[in-house]
Amino acid sequence: MGEKSFKGYSGKALSVLQKFNAPVWSDVELITSKGNYKGIILPRSETADDLHVVLKMPIGYNIGIKAESITNINIFGYKEAHYQIPEKEFPRDPSKPNVKLLGTGGTIASRLDYRTGAVIPAFSPGELYGSVPELADYCNLDTEKLYGVFSENMGPEQWIGTAKAIGKEIEKGVDGIVIGHGTDVMHHTAAILSFMVQNSPVPIVMVGSQRSSDRPSSDAALNLIHAVNTAAESDIAEIMVCMFGPTSDVYGLLHRGTRVRKMHSSYRSTFRTIGDIPIAKVSRDEIVPLRQDYKRRRKDKEVKIIPTFEEKVSIVYYYPNMKPDVIDSLVDNGYRGIIIAGTGLGHVNKPVYPALKRAQEKGVAVYMTVQTLWGYVQMYVYETGREMMQLGVVPCANMLPEVAYVKLCWALGQTDDLEKVKEIMLTPIAGEITEREPSNGYLIYQGGLPEVEEFISRYVK
């Protein structure tokens, strides 16, 4: 019996199971000093201790039994679980648009992994049709798994690969693209793709879920339906994030890729457009634009893919009492670009100035954004701001810090010439800088106020 069949067990628990030759998935009766227990031995999470054996009882519950109390194991058989999402062939209808789903690792449909307790995505069109049959109402769906990484592990390699894959699909004449993605850094990916993929003739919709699809209340299926509906039907040819509007299963919002941000660690309605309003509202049945200034769907295939990236860029979240060595160490480590998320209108304290001067002298591109997220950098209002600009710090208007970060990576990937970099940075490409902030671009209603409570009581949250 190989090591593999005792998945996750180590130490005492492993030696007991080995002693009685009872690998995981054995159908057993554990004889212990406290009583006897029937069930199936399950794999154990590798992060759990090495003292207990996990048993799935016939009623479906799991319990942990202390290995040292086990005096014998009667083995009746072997019952390995096979996960299979009911697979049905995805129906094809020539009159329906063709949508391509590119997977990077989010959980659209999934199963559980015992070893880690993690959720493993299921992905083929057949599997998806088996779990979300509604998708066939909108399109002919093809899928391609580009990556299988958790959101936080997305990086330059995956971004470049995804941009190129998008280019290829557009070349092939697809009518819309959906990108399945983990939610943690979805807004980073949305932003970088907004720069790497320009002038797309079709909608490119990023989607994920806040509640994994192994649970009945998951938002995954409805998000996917919204995203597929958008990719198939909408005339919005932009990079968008499509996630729940409210926490209720009612509608999704289409956020512009450069203005969207994850704003809550766990809410379904975590994605919000910052400093502007979303492009549209999407439900199962319709897509309602909230604005008209979006790029329209076209028949051509004239997409521009610019997959460049400089990895030596950092983001510095300023805090009072920050010491100059924070900046110095970046410069000394060969960083070529620094995005500062400054306080208020874009400030850092004076003791940091010498470090900024040194950065300027070493040819490091330093850009200022605001940690308030809403509002513009304004470095003329105070003397200190003007001093910083003299030290080469470039204000980034109302670009979000993460967006400025990926844009600087992207710009430095194209040229060493800091003037050119500055031109790229300050020229809006996909709405990352807007000329004006509409008054409804900043709405964080304060709970507790009677008028807000009244509003909440009238609509599902």
Partner 1 sequence: MYDFRFKPFEEMTDEDYEKVGFKSGLEIHQQLLTEKKLFCRCPAGMFNKNYDAEILRHMRPTLSELGEYDGTALMEFKTKKEIIYRINRQSVCTYEMDDTPPFLINEQALEIALETGLLYGCNIVDELHIARKQYLDGSIPTGFQRTAIFALNGKIPYKDREIEIVQMSIEEDSCREVSDVGHRRVYITDRLGMPLIETVTGPDMRTPQEVAEVALLCANIVRSTNKVRRGAGAAREDVNVSVTGGTRIEIKGVPKISRIPRLTYNEAMRQWNLLRLREELKKRNITEETFGSSHHDITKLMKKPHYLPIKTAVENGEVIKAVVLKGFAGLLNWQTQTNTYFSKEISDRVRVIACLTTIPNIIHSDSKGDNLTSFEWFDVLKNCSATENDSVVIVWGSEEDTNTAVKEIIIRAKEATIGIPSETRQALRDGTNGFERILPGADRMYPDTDLPPKEITSEVLDDIRQNLDRPYFERIKWYKELGVPKNVISNLAVSPYTKLFRKSIEEYDLDPKFVSRSLTSDLNRLKKLNRIEQFDEDNLEKALKLVRDKKLSHSGIFYYLQKTFMNTEFNFDENSKLLSEDEIKKTAKEIIGSIDDTQLHNAEKKNEITIGIVMKKISLKAEGKTVREVVESILNGGN
Q: CB 144 → partner 1: shortest distance, Å?
A: 23
CA distance 85 to 99: 21
Q: CB 269 → partner 1: shortest distance, Å?
A: 8
CA distance 299 to 285: 24
Binding-site member from 31, 81, 315, 389 for partner 1 (CB under 8 A): 81
Q: CB 386 → partner 1: shortest distance, Å?
A: 44
Binders of partner 1 among residues 416 to 435 (CB under 8 A) are none
Residue 85 interacting with partner 1 (CB under 8 A): yes
Number of residues located near partner 1, criterion CB under 8 A: 59
Residue 444 interacting with partner 1 (CB under 8 A): no
Residue nearer to partner 1 on the CB measure, 10 or 329? 10
Residue 72 interacting with partner 1 (CB under 8 A): no
Interface segment toward partner 1; rule CB under 8 A; list 54-62, 95-103, 137-145, 405-413: 54-62
Binding-site member from 7, 64, 277, 442 for partner 1 (CB under 8 A): 64
What track of x and - describes contact with partner 1 for positions 200 through 239 (by CB under 8 A)? ----------xxxxxxxxx--xx-----------------
Q: Where are the beta strands (DSSP E) in 295-419?
A: 304-305, 313-317, 337-342, 365-370, 393-395
Binding-site member from 16, 17, 22, 65 for partner 1 (CB under 8 A): 65
Host H or E run for residue 27 = strand 26-32
Residue 48 interacting with partner 1 (CB under 8 A): yes
Q: CB 214 → partner 1: shortest distance, Å?
A: 5
Q: CB 249 → partner 1: shortest distance, Å?
A: 5
Residue 150 interacting with partner 1 (CB under 8 A): no
Rounded to a whole number of angstroms, the distance between the first and last alpha carbons of the chain is 54
* Orientation of helix 156-172 relative to helix 186-196, angle to 10°: 50
CA distance 264 to 255: 16
Q: Where are the beta strands (DSSP E) in 284-348?
A: 287-289, 304-305, 313-317, 337-342
CA of residue 26 relative to chain centroid, distance: 38
Cβ-based burial of 211 (10 A; exposed 0-12, middle 13-18, buried ≥19): middle
Interface segment toward partner 1; rule CB under 8 A; list 60-68, 200-208, 287-295, 392-400: 60-68
Residue 446 interacting with partner 1 (CB under 8 A): no
Q: CB 224 → partner 1: shortest distance, Å?
A: 11
Q: Beta strand 52-56 with 109-112: parallel, antiparallel or unpaired?
A: unpaired
CA distance 396 to 389: 12
Angle (nearest 5°) at CA 38 between 34 and 42: 105
Interface segment toward partner 1; rule CB under 8 A; list 115-123, 174-182, 199-207, 337-345: 115-123
3-state DSSP assignment of residue 377: coil
Binding-site member from 119, 146, 326, 373 for partner 1 (CB under 8 A): 119
Q: 278: Cβ–Cβ under 8 A, 6 or more apart, which residues?
A: 253, 254, 255, 256, 290
Residue 456 interacting with partner 1 (CB under 8 A): yes
Amino acid at 406: V
Contact footprint for partner 1 (CB under 8 A): 34-35, 37, 45, 47-49, 51-52, 54, 56-66, 69, 81-86, 111-112, 114, 117-119, 131, 210-218, 221-222, 247-250, 264, 266-268, 453, 456-457, 460-461
